[in-house]
A and B are shown apart, each in its own frame.
Chain A
Amino acid sequence: GQSLEQPSEVTAVEGAIVQINCTYQTSGFYGLSWYQQHDGGAPTFLSYNALDGLEETGRFSSFLSRSDSYGYLLLQELQMKDSASYFCAVRSFSYSGAGSYQLTFGKGTKLSVIP
């Protein structure tokens, strides 16, 4: 089976840096995605890592270590609008499907940014 672990809640101060970790267990691993979801909204794509290393997109960065089955999302210069749930999602080969892939989501980390 597949499993993803991420902290359920994180609190950080406006202007600070926060790191949200994600560890996974899966077979047929291809990559790790991150999504943001505000309360009452739909998830929106943030980043994707297929190879080891850091990917930077503005204030957000995402890191992957395939050997450690570990990744993290780094949010810098936190703003109040960053208060949301953040999901890591593993893209893996689906042995039960027609030779395709599927996206398995973690249960999400609720980030609260405080003044």
Chain B
Amino acid sequence: SNSVKQTGQITVSEGASVTMNCTYTSTGYPTLFWYVEYPSKPLQLLQRETMENSKNFGGGNIKDKNSPIVKYSVQVSDSAVYYCLLGCSGANSKLTFGKGITLSVRP
């Protein structure tokens, strides 16, 4: 089965770098998306990782079942909920949402 695991909440100080992890299991060919949700705004696409464009984002890699997103020198305005989405193509194409990571940035 397909599943996505994200840690629930991260609090950091302004100027810090933060890595938000997304680990997954899948039965098909995976694509990982990261979306950010700001209050009263549409979810926005931040990052898309596939087996073809796979990179080591913050030490993780989709081929290793881990597709993190890294934000450098965060600002208070980066406080939001960050969602990881797993899409799997194949006979049983499916999209699975993670439960989201709430990032809080202190001034």
A and B assemble together: no
Chain A residues near B (Cβ < 8 Å)? none
